Amino acid sequence: MEFTDAHKQNGPCCFSPNALFLAVAVDYRLVIRDVLSLKVIQLFSCVDKISYIEWAFDSEYILCGLYKRPMIQAWSLSQPEWTCKIDEGPAGIAYAWWSPDSRHILTTSDFQLRLTVWSLVNTACVHVQWPKHASKGVSFTHDGKYAAICTRRDCKDYINLLSCLTWEVMGVFAVDTLDLADIEWSPDDSALMIWDSPLEYKVLIYSPDGRCLFKYQAYDSGLGVKTVSWSPCSQFLAVGSYDQMLRVLNHLTWKTFAEFMHLSTVRAPCNAAVFKEVDEPLQIDVSGLCLSDDFIDRNSENVQEGHSRVRYEVAEVPITLPFQKPPVDKPNPKQGIGLLSWSCDSNYICTRNDSMPTALWIWNIRRLELAAILMQKDPIRTAAWDPTSARLVFCTGSCHLYMWTPSGAYCASVPLGRFNIIDLKWNSDGSCLLLKDKESFCCAAVPVLYESSDDISDD
């Protein structure tokens, strides 16, 4: 794995959808870099510090959220002289999205007074009153034809279905939720998934015409749904709950066909490989050498900066994972499935139980069993699947990058002084990773993963 030099950033960073460009926020400047060389190809100056960045789907335009103003500025890569400013005045701007056609911008005002669709073609505006949330509650079909927008009026939740061609309302229907949390189209655009707030365990599946296809409720008492995710193939729906269980539903009957428990003690029989991160002592052959004070000082400095080497060792079961019991007198308890993500082939799910933040669980959906557990020294911050293969990378806020594939687990150290990975993102073609520190970033070129025949053959 090859790493680039570190470059400055102090805000959001993201790859373009066509995998050719990298947008980086540095205070009020938007820096556009070439992915291969990281050379600056465009530089735009905003009127205030950049809080949010989003590329248009065609990678031609990019918007910057200046939420301290509040204001939206948009730029064009091919026409640097072109610019757009969106200001809602006293209503303010809380969040913004690109429409699938890359020629409209959706914004929500402060206090969820309205959602506005702004046209970059003819400067026309369309308003939707009373959006439910500021930064969520909006979902587009994958074919780009429709938008589902959650609204709330008279203490009732509704779904507004809009055409992304004309922005006319195609239909409005009420949903059976106490306090709607969010909405998401299935990858094949055949159904809408809606889930309720943690106070009410409820996952609802609706057809685009407003018919409730299924209502799922695992239990009545206690906190409910924490994370939900469609599989890329649209055949499975994974639901992570506050009861520390992962449940997987199928798309034919919408019934549960798998339930996975995150136990603090893993016992036999268990076919999963348990990888434990351990320190690897620095081994130096000192025979015939005289170590100078300068050599000792440099190596001591590297250890202090967190650049000690680590590796994985395979642990034997039974094994007990570090468990943190959340306090009963504080809100938003750190328990339940806080991280949930599918591999691109829908064969694996990775999860993190927030009560055991240093353990990453990987489940094999084809075999309905636990595939691996990775025990880290520090809490897991972010995990992301390779968009082209069954490869998972994650970070813990250290200088190490961790990787898992069906063939094993690996550790890699970033060869940059005082660079601790707090966030990471894949490029859409799987060729490289964006690694972020607090005030800098670098890219890592990732070798192509060749899957074995056992991984791709039918059972």
Mean per-residue pLDDT pooled into runs of 10, the chain (459 residues): 94 97 97 97 96 97 92 95 91 94 95 94 91 96 97 96 96 96 96 96 96 95 94 97 96 93 90 93 55 45 57 93 85 90 97 97 96 97 97 97 96 92 96 96 87 44
CB 385 within 8 A of CB 344: yes
Predicted pLDDT of residue 88: 87
Predicted pLDDT of residue 450: 63
Peptide bond into 269 cis (omega under 30): yes
Predicted pLDDT of residue 453: 41
Amino acid, single-letter form, for residue 458: D
Based on C-alpha coordinates, what's the Rg of the chain? 24
Buried b or exposed e, range 429-454, using 16+ CB within 10 angstroms: ebbbbbbbbeebbbbbebeebeeeee
Region of 305 please: left (phi>0), alpha (psi -120 to 50) or beta.
alpha
DSSP-derived 3-state class of residue 310: strand
Task: Please state the pTM of the whole predicted model.
Answer: 0.90
Distance between CA atoms of residues 335 and 324, nearest Å: 8
Tally the residues of the chain.
459
Predicted pLDDT of residue 285: 52
- Pick from 444, 443, 437: which is nearest to 306 by CA? 437
DSSP-derived 3-state class of residue 340: strand
Pairing of β 273-280 and β 369-375: parallel
Cβ contacts of residue 90 below 8 Å, gap of 6+? none
CB 79 within 8 A of CB 98: no
Token pair listed for 386: 């390779």
Distance between CA atoms of residues 117 and 128, nearest Å: 8
CB 187 within 8 A of CB 234: yes
Helix locations, 305-437, DSSP H: none
Distance between CA atoms of residues 187 and 141, nearest Å: 8
Distance between CA atoms of residues 148 and 285, nearest Å: 65
Own/partner contacts of 200-206, CB < 8 Å, gap of 24 or more, are 200/224, 201/225, 201/241, 202/176, 202/177, 202/178, 203/228, 203/237, 203/239, 203/249, 204/175, 204/176, 204/177, 205/237, 205/254, 206/159, 206/173, 206/175
- Pick from 310, 309, 313, 311: which is nearest to 275 by CA? 313
